[in-house]
Amino acid sequence: MKVGVFAVVFSRLPFEQALDYIRSVGVEAVEIGCGGYVGDAHCKPAELLADEGALAAFRQAVQQRGLTISALSVHANPLHPNPEIGEVHKAYVENAIRLAARLEVDTVVTFSGCPGGGPGDRHPNWVTCPWPPDFSETVQWQWEAVMISYWQEVAQMAAREGVRIAIEMHPGFCVYNVETALALRETVGPTIGVNFDPSHLFWQGVDPGHAIRALGEAIFHFHAKDTRIDPINTRVNGVLDVKSYRQFAQRSWIFRTVGYGHGEEVWRDMVSNLRLVGYDGALSIEHEDGLMSGREGFEKAVRFLQGLVIREQAGETYWA
């Protein structure tokens, strides 16, 4: 495995300057944002696809630093019921797939998306319980009338380009856990897999080691991000929480740098289980820790993960 980083955390830096810094701390792989909610500061697929010189320079900037691209990421909602958003996000996804093929990158990370609650709705509607019966009817309509047909079409396009789609299991979208991820994969086919981000699973009560074993070869990419569950706020209000991510002391949970939400034993168990299911890709650090600067959180995560990867490569086993 390689330690990598989701480079959007350094989107304020020019691309090559960001790459220089990333390489200087010993990281080997970069995941590059190219549209949607993560922005496209370092990579604008439509422009690169239209300009061979720019595309060559982009590729060279990565290669000459000895880095590899673990994935292109277009964190988007292509099923958004407002066409002014949904159609733009669909274009982001399609252009990311085309660009990945040109760069010989085999994985595009994105979200499953979430439609509205029915025809004519203009806002996404994420359902979290089956009753009253409207909710169950909404979920059925979202999957059968909107999501499956969209992803079947996109998966066919991706397969033609030799690219895999790694859906990040993320609450707020139709695919948010193992069950929903495998349901989409079973319906659409093996071009669809997952970007495994344990931070979104921890607060749902999921054991990431068990989830990794259940997903197996469906894991195409991995985000290294942690979550701290606040024991006081959670026992009062539960885990569903719509307060701002900036309200650190009031929330039931917050995102943290790896090792600051769960200890080394949990993380080495994840690494060991990833090896058991055959994953040998990047551990891509995604920094969303509001209690640390980007550089502080990133460098702490690098040191933490490098220790785990080195130990794994030395042949020691932590899974039992």
Instruction: State pLDDT tens for residues 126-182.
Output: 999 999 999 999 999 999 999 999 999 999 999 999 999 999 999 999 999 999 999
Residue 320 resides in a domain = no
pLDDT mean across residues, the chain? 96
CATH code of the domain containing 66: 3.20.20.150
- What pLDDT shows up at residue 126? 98
Per-residue pLDDT for 1 more than 50?
Answer: yes
The whole model's pTM is what?
0.95
pLDDT of residue 37: 95
Q: Is residue 143 part of a domain?
A: yes
Residue 207 has pLDDT above 60, yes or no: yes
pLDDT at 141: 98
* Mean pLDDT within 247-261: 98
In a domain, 214, yes or no: yes
| C-alpha span between 20 and 75 (Å, rounded) | 24
Distance, CA of 200 to CA of 197 (rounded, Å):
6
| pLDDT over 70 percentage in the chain | 97
Mean pLDDT within 266-291: 97
Predicted pLDDT at 319: 41
Show the tokens assigned to 160.
Answer: 């033609």
Residue 83: what pLDDT? Answer: 97
% the chain with pLDDT above 90: 96
Q: How confident is the model at residue 190 (pLDDT cuts 50, 70, 90)?
A: very high
- pLDDT (tens digit, 9 = 90+) per residue, 12-64? 999 999 999 999 999 999 999 999 999 999 999 999 999 999 999 999 999 99
Residue 320: predicted pLDDT: 32
Give the pLDDT score at 38: 93
Residue 315 has pLDDT above 80, yes or no: no
Give the pLDDT score at 317: 47
What domain range is 258 assigned to?
2-313
pLDDT at 310: 65
Strands 253-256 and 226-229: antiparallel
Taking alpha carbons only, the member of 37, 36, 40 closest to residue 58 is 40
Residue 140 has a CB neighbour count (10 Å cut-off) of 10
Counting the structural domains of the chain, the total is: 1
109 in a structural domain: yes
Residues contacting 256, CB < 8 A, separation 6+:
225, 226, 227, 228, 289, 291
pLDDT greater than 80 at residue 316: no
pLDDT of residue 313: 53
User: Residue 103 and residue 69: Cα distance in Å, rounded?
Assistant: 9
Tokens of 272: 């060991």
Instruction: Please give the C-alpha separations between residue 81 and each of 48, 84, 120, 146, 281, in angstroms, as whole numbers.
Output: 28, 9, 8, 10, 34
Sign of CA pseudo-dihedral 201, 204, 205, 211 = negative
Strand segments, DSSP code E, in 201-289 are 219-224, 226-229, 253-256, 282-285
Which pair of tokens denotes residue 109?
């990370």
C-beta contacts of 81-85 below 8 A and 24+ residues apart: 81/115, 81/116, 81/121, 81/122, 81/123, 81/124, 82/122, 82/123
